[in-house]
Amino acid sequence: DQQVKQNSPSLSVQEGRISILNCDYTNSMFDYFLWYKKYPAEGPTFLISISSIKDKNEDGRFTVFLNKSAKHLSLHIVPSQPGDSAVYFCAARMDSSYKLIFGSGTRLLVRP
């Protein structure tokens, strides 16, 4: 199932700098997009989401941008902190379905 893709398996940034995590999707019927963060030995934790009718949603240090024409979304973390080091999953959902469709994840390392 390649409907949601995260093409970068890993990303390393310096503490205090911006982290940009990218996600592409193929299904134009998705209504909602979510970012989850996952630490080892824990389940995915919800971070931030965006409706398909919006192009930006901000929550503290986290901002998600949606470009529907390009079928692309990105998560910006500013400033990055060492505690942000985790695997970040992009996920999408349709209104007509209960299931979340996940990307393969991007491992973020924030260096002190």
Partner 1 sequence: EPEVTQTPSHQVTQMGQEVILRCVPISNHLYFYWYRQILGQKVEFLVSFYNNEISEKSEIFDDQFSVERPDGSNFTLKIRSTKLEDSAMYFCASSETPDVSYEQYFGPGTRLTVT
Q: What single letter denotes the amino acid at residue 100?
A: L
- Give whichever of 32 and 65 is closer to partner 1, judged by the CB atom: 32
- Give whichever of 34 and 73 is closer to partner 1, judged by the CB atom: 34
Q: Report, in Å, the least distance between residue 106 CB and partner 1.
A: 12
Residues lying near partner 1 in the complex (CB under 8 A): 1, 31-32, 34, 36, 41-46, 49, 51, 89, 91, 93-95, 97-105
- Give whichever of 60 and 99 is closer to partner 1, judged by the CB atom: 99
